[in-house]
Amino acid sequence: MDQFLQHIVNALVLGSTYALLGIGLTLIFGIMRVVNFAHGELYAFGAYVSYALVSLLGLNYFGSVLLAGMLGLLLGAAIEFLLLRRCKLENIDEVMLIMIGLMIIMQNAELLLWGGVAKVVPTPFAQESITIGGIYLSPTRLFVFCAAVVLLIAFYLIIERSRLGLAMRATFQDRDAAKIVGVNVGSIYTLTFALGSCMAAVTGALLAPVFVVAPTMGDLASLKAFAIVILGGLGNIPGAALGGFALAAIEEFGSGYISTAYRDALGFLAILIVMVIRPQGLFAIKERVG
């Protein structure tokens, strides 16, 4: 029973970070139709910002998460403005090549700047875990979970309740119609990419003291993010959040009770099943037309 409950706790914590990763990616894809291969690199970027500020400059971890988010926002806006806007997004091959190129450049820049040795970011919390019964949870992970939930809610409110969110949703549904009613599609694109990048960078910074910071960390993050987005339905924002939790649960329980060797395979097997049975994604309420 303890093991079962421990898996639930682990899955919730891991799922919250997967959800954050997935949401940024699906937002960019849903609105801009850009397959952002550099998403994982923005995650790594956030983690390195946290490392530079906390480990090298001795700043506060919470401040570093905030700053990583802001820098991620700026970097995302810059990428959209400088790289994507110029190619007018008409040719998906070009866009993909740009994003793959960006991924390679960012990863190698990290290697050049920080070296290949993994870096550790000290946690501001106690090392001793909180225990309830036989269930263990480190304070750092608890904080990451709470922060992720707050961010997910804030993100939901931005999309569903704000004027910006309304404009974004309008662009998502029909770009030309949105233009006709006066939505500045160009700046919506910039904001979308900036917001998605910000989510990735914040996730990286949040997780920096939980994991280690290394130049190749973005590869795994990208892979997981794509899995989550496909699981939840491409461009489906609540789907990405739920997809994150679903993938974490599959990984946790699959490796706990079936086999750890197939941990990643089980996640992808689930995706294959979803693709066959519900190609629109596990959490799509109805199929989108157009």
Partner 1 sequence: MCNRKKLLAVLASGALFASQAHAEDTIKIGVSQPLTGSVAAAGTYVTNGARLAADYLNANGGVLGKQIELVVEDNKSNPREAVNSAEKLILSNKVPVMMGAWGSTFTLATMPKLEEYGVPMVVETASSSKVTTSGNPWVFRISPTSKMEAQAFAEQLSAFQPAIKKVDFLSVNNDWGLGAATEFKAVFEAKGIEVGRSETMAPDATDLSAQLAAIKNSGSDTVIVTSGVEQLTLAIRQAAEQGIKQRIITTGGSFPEPLVKNPGPKGYVTTHLLFFSPWTAEQQAANPELAKAYMDAWNEKGYPFPGLTEGFRGFDGILTIAEAIRLAGKAEPEAIRDALWKVQVKGVNGDIAFHQEGPEGKESGQNKPNIYIVQLKDGEVSAL
Rule CB under 8 A: which of 222-261 touch partner 1?
251-256, 260-261
Rule CB under 8 A: which of 69-128 touch partner 1?
111, 115-120, 122, 127-128
Point out which span in 7-15, 64-72, 187-195, 281-289 binds partner 1 (CB under 8 A): 7-15
Which one of 219, 278, 280, 284 is in contact with partner 1 (CB under 8 A)? 219
Q: Min. distance of Cβ 243 from partner 1 in angstroms?
A: 17
Closest listed residue to residue 87, CA positions, set 72, 73, 102: 102
Q: Is 263 a binder of partner 1 (CB under 8 A)?
A: yes
Rule CB under 8 A: which of 117-176 touch partner 1?
117-120, 122, 127-129, 131, 136-138, 141
Which one of 74, 165, 187, 264 is in contact with partner 1 (CB under 8 A)? 264
Q: Which is nearer to partner 1, 137 or 166 (CB)?
A: 137
**Contact in structure between 46 and 205 (CB atoms under 8 Å):** yes
**Contact in structure between 193 and 76 (CB atoms under 8 Å):** yes
Q: Which is nearer to partner 1, 14 or 191 (CB)?
A: 14
Q: Which is nearer to partner 1, 184 or 216 (CB)?
A: 216
Give the bridge partners for 104, in sequence order: none
CA angle 120, 124, 130 (to 5 degrees): 105
What does 109-135 look like in DSSP terms, one character per residue?
Answer: HHHHHH-SS-B----SS-SSPEEETTE
As a three-state string, the secondary structure of 68-83 is HHHHHHHHHHHHHHHH
Interface with partner 1 by CB under 8 A: which residues?
2-3, 6-7, 10, 13-14, 111, 115-120, 122, 127-129, 131, 136-138, 141, 211-212, 214, 216-217, 219-220, 251-256, 260-261, 263-264
